[in-house]
Amino acid sequence: MQKAALTLLTTLLLGTTSHSLTADDDIAITSQRRSELLHLLKQDCGSCHGLTLKGGLGPALLPENLTGKPEPLLTATIYYGRPGTAMPPWQSILTESESRWLARRLLEGVSP
């Protein structure tokens, strides 16, 4: 039941059931922008989730901690934030495609 609710929530937030990172998303993000996004992930996200992403104010963002969390849910969390928590929305500086790219990096693992 909980997984179905999460799927429904992410579908409603993102407007589709399929938001995996595509080759077009990856190509659309320049190497310079990728560097900027990785810097944002390590510094800005790291300020709450720990500079090594092992947790802090926010939960750990390591692949083993994200097991079972669908990519669309992570994308929506990055893009829209989590109301009522310290997780802010990043939609003012990120596109949905960039948010998906970051979610994929988190699921694959990012070296500190």
Any residues with CB less than 8 A from the CB of 9 and at least 6 apart, and which?
A: 73, 76
Lowest mean pLDDT among 18-32, 40-54, 72-86: 18-32
pLDDT-derived band of residue 26, with 50, 70 and 90 as boundaries?
low
| Average pLDDT rounded to a whole number, residues 34-43 | 95
CA distance 35 to 62: 19
Any residues with CB less than 8 A from the CB of 45 and at least 6 apart, and which?
A: 53, 58, 61
Residue 24 has a pLDDT of: 54
High-pLDDT (> 70) share of the chain, %: 75
Q: Give just the sign of the alpha carbon dihedral 101, 15, 18, 25.
A: negative
Report all structural domains of the chain as residue ranges with CATH numbers, in order of start.
Answer: 23-108 (1.10.760.10)
| Average pLDDT rounded to a whole number, residues 67-82 | 97
pTM for this entry: 0.77
